[in-house]
Chain A
Amino acid sequence: MTVIANQQSEAAVEKREDLITLTIDDVEVSVPKGTLVIRAAELIGVEVPRFCDHPLLDPVGACRQCLVEVPDGGTGRPIPKPQASCTLEVAPGMKIKTQLTSPVADKAQRGNMEFLLINHPLDCPICDKGGECPLQNQAMSHGYAESRFTDEKRTYPKPINISANVLLDRERCVLCARCTRFSEQIAGDPFIALIERGALQQVGIYEKEPLESYFSGNTIQICPVGALTSAAYRFRSRPFDLISTPSIAEHDACGSAIRVDHRRGKVMRRLAGDDPAVNEEWITDKDRFAHRYGDGEDRLTRPLVRDGNVLRPASWPEAIDVAVRGLKAAGSSVGVLTGGRLTLEDAYGYSKFARAVLGTNNIDFRARQHSAEEADFLAHAVAGTEQNVSFADLENASAVLLVCLEPEEEAGMIFLRLRKAFRKKQLATWTLAPYASSGTRKMGAQLIACVPGEEASVLDQLNTGDDSTDDRIAEIGFDAKSVILVGERAAGLSGTLSACLRLAERTGARLAWVPRRAGDRGAVEAGCLPNLLPGGRPVSDAAARVDTQTTWGVESLPWLEGRDADEILIAAADVELEALVVAGVDPNDFVDPQGVLEGLEAIGFMVSLETRASMVTERADVVFPVSLMHERAGTFMNWEGRRRHFDIVLEQPNEMSDLRVLAALADGLGTDLGFRTASQARAELDELGTWEGLRSEAPDYPAGEPAEPDGSSVLLATWRMALDESRALDGEPYLQATARAAEARMSPGTAAAAGIAGVAVISNDRGSMTLPAVIDSEMNDGVVWLPSRTPRLGIPQHLATSAGDLVTLGSADELAVSDDMEASE
C-alpha cells in the first residue's frame, strides 16, 4: 500500500511556528497548518483506512472509507456528520475520534467497506493484487467478516485494455479515481477518465485519444484493488511468492528507486520505490516494464574466442589467456570504449584499467555524438562536483531554463518534478528548442523557439539587459535560485555548453548537466574521458596525476590527453591503434554507425565485455559475457550527482562482473587492478576522493552559427524518444506498443516550400527516410524535426547525421513500406 505520508519529512523541516494542535483519539498532536486529519492521525500511529486518498494526489473525498467522528470541529461544537479525514484540514482545538475510539466512525467505516464489497468480485485467489491488496487488507481489518449482500453483483466483460500496458477489470474497480487523478495531475496525460454514473461509473478511455503516457504503469501500482493490471505481469505470479529487493532503475540518468520482485531465479516485475528526494513514488514505464532484455536468446552465457571467421565458445581461462596475449601485443596502443550504461564502480574499473594497466588515456564513455568542448565542459563543470543541483532545487527554483533537453523523453523524473512545480508552485520554465513538445506544454514551459545550431547565440543574448535585438528573447528572472539544465545533446551544437557556462556566470543561476544514460554521470566521475582521471582530476595536471598514482600505487600515468571515442574509432579504422576494449556500446548510438563498424572491423584485436550478442561482439576477437543489471551490485550516479547504490537482486554464482574480468586481465598483464568487487572498487574511489586542486578551465567556445538552408535543404532537429528502437525494450511488446508514432514535424511554410501534403521524405547523400508530416505553426521555417531512433527509421542508420545539419526535404505520395526504406540505406 502506498499510504504512508512521505511529505511529513519535508513538512518536519519547515518552520515550526505555525503548528496547529488538535486531539486525535485523546492524543494531542501538533502539525503544520493545512495538514489533513488523515495525515495527522498517521503521526500518532493511527491508520485510518482509505482508498482514494494518496499523499501525492489532490484530495477527492470520494471513497468515504476514512470517515471519522468530529466531536469538536475547532469551534467548540461538533460536526454533526462523520467527516472524511482525507479532505478535512486540521483546526486548532479540533477533536477527532477515529475508529479506535468512536463507535460511530467504526460503524461508518464498516458500513462503507460493506458497500465497496457488494459489487467487488470474490476473485482474490486469481487476482494479481491478492496478497498485497489494500481492499483485501482493509476488508480484513475494518470490515465485517460476513457480508449481508445476497443479491446480484454488477458484472462486466473482462478485461479491457486502457493502453497496451494496462488492463482494466471494471468489476474490481472501487472508483477511487487514483488512476485518473494520477494521469491528469501527475503525468499530465488525462486520457483516462471516469465515465457513466452510479454503480455503472467506470474508468474509460476516449477511442480517438489513446492513453499515451510514459508513466501509465504507476496507475497499476497505486490502484488500491486489482482493477488495473499490467499486461506483461498479469497472472504471472502471486505477491507472496515474490522476493522483493530495492534497486535503482537503469534506463535514464534520474536514478529512480525501484523495487525488483523475483521468483525462482527470474525477475517477474518492477515497481516504483518510494524516495521523496528523487522519484517520489513514480517511475517511467521504461523503468517499470523494460527488464526482460537479458532474457532473450542473444544473452551471452559463455566466453567466445575468434577462430577464423567464427566465434567459438571457450573456457574462461582460455578466453582470458587469448585476451591477455592480444592486449599485451598491443601495448598502450589501445582504445577503451565504455558506453554510458556502466555503474560507477565498473566505470572506475575501466578508467583505472586503461591508465594503470594498459597505460593509455584513450578512453571515452561517450558512445554518442560528442565534442572536445563537451569534454572540457565535463572536466570543468561536472566531474568531481558531487551533488550540485537536486530534484528539490528544481521544485523550489525561481526559474528553470532547459537547453537541449526534453525531460519527458530524456529524463522522466525531471519532467514529473517540473510539472509538479508548475502545478503547485507556478514555476516558470523556459525551454530552448525548435518546437513546443507535448512535454513542454505539460510542464507549462515557455518556448524560446530557435533553429538547431542557433542555441548558443540565443543563450548569449539572454539576460544581457538588452532584449531589443530579438523579440523571442525574454528577460528571464534568473537569480541564485534559478537552474539551467543542459542536456547531453548540447555537445553536438558548437558553443552551446560554453554559452550555458557564460549565462550561469552572468546571472548566478546554477547549471546542471543532464545526460540520458544511467551510467553517464558516474563515468564522468570515474574518469572515463580522455582528459580526466577519477574524481575530476585533469590528466594534464601533474599534481592530479601524482595524487592518483599515489592511491593506485603505480609509478607513472600517461600524461598526454587521450583520444575521444570518435578519434579512437577513426584511429582504429586507420590502423593507428592495435586493440580495442569495448563494453556496453551500441554502434547505432553514434552519429555514423557505419563509420563505427569500419573502426571495429579494421582494428587488429578487440575484447568485448557484453551481456548480449551485438554488432560489437560479432566483430570481437574475445567476448566476455558479463552480468545483467539485476545480477550485480553497484552505484549509479544520477544527474544530480547523487550516488544511488543498489545490491544484487539475483545471486548468480557463475556470473562474472566487468570488474572480475578486468581484474583477471590485469593479472595476466602483470598489474594488480587492486579490486575485483564493486564494494572494493567503491572503497578505493572513495579513498581517492574528489579533486580539490585547480579545476580545468571553462571552455569558452564562441557561439556557432546555424547552417544556411538553401533550395530544398532544411536544418535537421532531432532527439531520442523515451521509447524507441533501444535494445532495452527487447522482449517487451506491450511497452513497445506505447511508443509514439514517428513523424516529421515542420512549419506550414516549410511544408509548402517542399510541396508536402501528407508524407515527407528526408534525405541526404547517405540515404533517405519517409515519414508522415505533422504541421506545427509555432515552428521556425527551414527546420524539420524527426525522432532520432524510431524502429526501422533510425537517423543514424539512414542519414548518419545529427541535429543542426542540413538535409533535403521532399514530398512523397504515400508512405513507402519499411523494406524499401531499408533498401535506401
Chain B
Amino acid sequence: MTDPLTPVLTANWGEERAWQLSNYERRGGYDGLRSALQMDPAEVVTLVKDSGLRGRGGAGFPTGMKWGFIPQDNPKPKYLVVNADESEPGTCKDIPLMMASPHTLVEGVIISAYAIRAHHAFIYVRGEVLHVVRRLQQAVREAYSAGYAGQDILGSGYHLEIIVHAGAGAYICGEETALLDSLEGRRGQPRLRPPFPAVAGLYACPTVINNVESIASVPSIIANGDDWFSSMGTEKSKGMTIYSLSGHVTNPGQFEAPLGITLRQLLDLAGGIREGHQLKFWTPGGSSTPMLTDAHLDVPLDYEAVAGVKSMLGTKALQCFDETTSIVRTVLRWTEFYKHESCGKCTPCREGTWWLVQILKRMEAGRGEQGDIEKLLDLCDNILGRSFCALGDGATSPITSAIQYFRDEFEAAMHTPAWELFPYERSTIFVREPAGAGA
C-alpha cells in the first residue's frame, strides 16, 4: 500500500524554524501570491471555485462560491475575516498550523483578500493560545517588512492591512456572526440572519469569513493549479485536509491526507488504538458531530459519506475512545462544555444544556430515573433546530448518538455509577502527577 498521506499544509511543519519567513520563502513561499497578483481578482475567485475547495471549518461550504457572494458593486469596504477561534472539542489543526507555519495562512490571507478586493483582513485567534497569537503577529510583521502586506504589495498597487485579533476565549465566537460582534468589540453572541455577512458583516460591510485551513489551502491551489487540487479527494470533496487523531490512539497527531480516507487507514498510520484495546466509539469532526462506532471504520471521511451515516465531517477531529471509556461520562463532559459555552441568547440552548447536565450528572452517579433516557431524547428534540445558532444543535449530537449506539449504558446508569462500570483510571492516558510532585 502506498503512503496515503499528502502533506501540503503540513509539509514544512517538521523543518527547523518553519515559522520564519526566510525558511518559508526557501520552500517557494509567497510564490502563490506573486502568481495571484498577476491575475485578475475575479480569476482568482474562479480558480478557487474550480478547485472545489470547501470550507474546512466544518460546514463544507464551497469557498469560491462564498467569495462570489460578495457584492462587488457595493461601495462599502469589503473585509476578509479568518476564523482562527478553533475551540471545538477534539479539534487541533488550525492552531498547530498557525504555530508551525503561520506564513501559509498569511499568504493565503493576502491572496484571498486580493480576490475579494478587500483592503483589510482580520485574523480572529482564540485568546487562550497566546503563543500562537505572538507567532502570527510576528509573521504578519515579517510579511509587512518584506512588502507582502501594507501599501503597494510587490509593486502591484494592491494594498492590504492585516490585523491579528485575540478573542477572549469563548466557543461561541467560532460562530461566524458572534465572531463579528466580538471583533467589533461587543459581546460575542450570534446575529440575526439575514442580513448575511456577505452583504452586511463586519461593521455592516460585505465580509467573507473563512476557516484558517481553507485560507491556508489557497496558496497551494494558486501555485499548483486547480487541477492538482481537485485530483485529490473524492467526487464532491476535493483536495487534501488535516485530520486530527486524538484519544486512545498510539500516536495521536495531525495527518494530512486527501478527503475520503477512512479512519481504518488513519489508525494504521497512527499505530492503531493503544496497545491491548479496541475502538469503542469516535467522533468524525469534534464533539458536535454525532459519534460513530467501530462499525464505521471504513466510511470514507468526506462530506458526503459521513453525512451518509447520519453524522458530519465537521472539523475532522477524530477523537477515538476505547472500550474502557464510559459513554455516560464522556457525554456528560461534552455536555458540561456546551453548558459552559452556551452564550445565553436563546432559550433552548441556554436552559436545555443546564437541564441536560443535571440529568447526565445523576446518571453518571448511577442515580438515573425511570424515563430519563426518553427525557434526554425529548429535550434534545426540543433543542435541535430550535435554538438560535448551531451551538445548541451541536450540544444534542453526542447525547442522541450515544443513546443510539449505547443505550444499555444509559440504562445501567439507573442503578450503577459510571465509575464502577468503567473505572476511570483505566481510560486515563495522561496520569496527572499528584500536586507538588516533581516541583
Question: Do they bind each other?
Answer: yes
Chain A interface residues (CB < 8 Å from chain B): 59-65, 67, 80-82, 87, 107-108, 111-112, 114-116, 118-119, 148-152, 154, 174-175, 193-201
Find chain B residues with CB under 8 A from A174 CB: 347
12 additional A-B residue pairs with CB within 8 Å, beyond A87-B192, A119-B351: A60-B192, A61-B192, A62-B345, A64-B346, A67-B386, A82-B386, A111-B386, A112-B348, A115-B348, A116-B351, A197-B342, A198-B343
Q: B398: CB under 8 A from chain A?
A: no
| Closest A residue by C-beta to B378 | A111
Residues B348 and A111 in contact, CB atoms below 8 Å apart: yes
- In the assembled complex, the CB of B296 is this many whole angstroms from the nearest CB of chain A, namely 24
B271: interface (CB < 8 Å): no
Q: Which residue of B lies closest to A112 (CB)?
A: B347
> Using Cβ atoms and an 8 Å threshold, which residues of chain A touch B362?
151
- The answer, yes or no, to whether B103 is at the interface (CB within 8 Å) is no
Q: Write the nearest CB–CB distance from B354 to chain A, whole angstroms.
A: 4
Please, which residues of chain A bring their CB within 8 A of the CB of B35?
Answer: none
Give Cα A446 to B379, complex, Å.
53
Interface of chain B residues 258 through 274 with chain A (CB within 8 A): none
**Once the chains bind, are B342 and A64 in contact (CB under 8 Å)?**
no
Please tell me if the beta carbons of A115 and B344 are within 8 angstroms of each other in the complex.
Answer: no
Interchain CB contact (< 8 A) of B385 among A63, A82, A118, A196: A82
Q: Which residues of B contact A108 (CB under 8 A)?
A: 382, 386
Q: Bin the interface of chain B by size.
A: 20 to 34
A interface footprint on B357-382 (CB within 8 Å = 1, 0 otherwise): 01100100000010100010011011
A197 CA to B350 CA in the complex, in Å?
8
Instruction: Known A62-B345, A62-B346, A200-B344; judge A115-B351 contact (CB<8 A).
Output: yes
A87–B346 CA distance with the chains assembled, in angstroms: 13
Overall SS of chain B's interface: helix
For A119, what are the chain B residues with a Cβ–Cβ distance below 8 Å? Answer: 351, 354
Among B355, B359, B369, chain A packs the most CB atoms within 10 A around the CB of B355
Cβ-defined contact, B344 with A196, below 8 A: yes
What residues make up the interface of B, taking CB atoms closer than 8 Å to A? Answer: 170, 172, 187, 192, 339-348, 350-355, 358-359, 362, 369, 371, 375, 378-379, 381-382, 385-388
Query: Of A64, A114, A151, which contacts B387 at CB under 8 A?
Result: A64
> A802–B354 Cα gap in the complex (Å)?
61
Q: State which of B187, B192, B354, B388 has its C-beta within 8 Å of the C-beta of A154.
A: B354
Pairwise interchain contact B359-A151, C-beta atoms closer than 8 A = yes
Per a CB cutoff under 8 Å, which of A116, A148, A152 touches B347? A116
CA of A82 to CA of B381 in the docked complex: distance in angstroms? 12
Q: List 29 A-B contacts (CB under 8 A).
A: A62-B388, A63-B346, A64-B346, A65-B347, A81-B385, A81-B386, A111-B378, A111-B381, A111-B382, A111-B386, A112-B347, A112-B382, A115-B347, A115-B348, A118-B351, A119-B354, A150-B369, A151-B359, A151-B362, A175-B344, A193-B187, A194-B187, A196-B344, A197-B341, A197-B343, A198-B343, A198-B354, A201-B343, A201-B350
Cβ contacts under 8 Å, B388 to chain A: 61-62, 64
Could you tell me if B358 and A151 are in contact, using CB atoms closer than 8 angstroms? Answer: yes
Would you call B355 and A149 a contact (CB within 8 A)? yes
Q: Closest residue of chain A to B374, judged by CB?
A: A148
**Is A198 a contact of B352 with CB atoms below 8 Å?**
no
A81 to B381, CA, bound (A): 11
| Chain B residues within 8 Å of A151, by CB | 355, 358-359, 362
In the assembly, what is the distance between CA of A208 and CA of B156, in Å? 50
User: In the complex the two chains form, what is the Cα distance from A195 to B188 in whole Å?
Assistant: 11
A198 B358 Cβ-Cβ under 8 A: no
CA distance A116 to B382 in the complex (A): 12
Residues of B with C-beta under 8 A to A193: 187
Give A194 to B170 CA distance when docked, in angstroms.
16
B354 touches A118 (CB 8 A): yes
On chain B, the residues within 8 Å of A198 by CB distance are 339-344, 350, 353-354
Of B187, B340, B350, the most chain A CB neighbours within 10 A belong to B350
Bound form: Cα–Cα A196–B350 in Å: 12
Q: Are B385 and A199 in contact (CB under 8 A)?
A: no
Whether A197 contacts B344 by the Cβ 8 Å rule is yes
**A151 to B381 Cα, complex, angstroms:** 19
Nearest chain B residue, comparing its CB with the CB of A154: B354
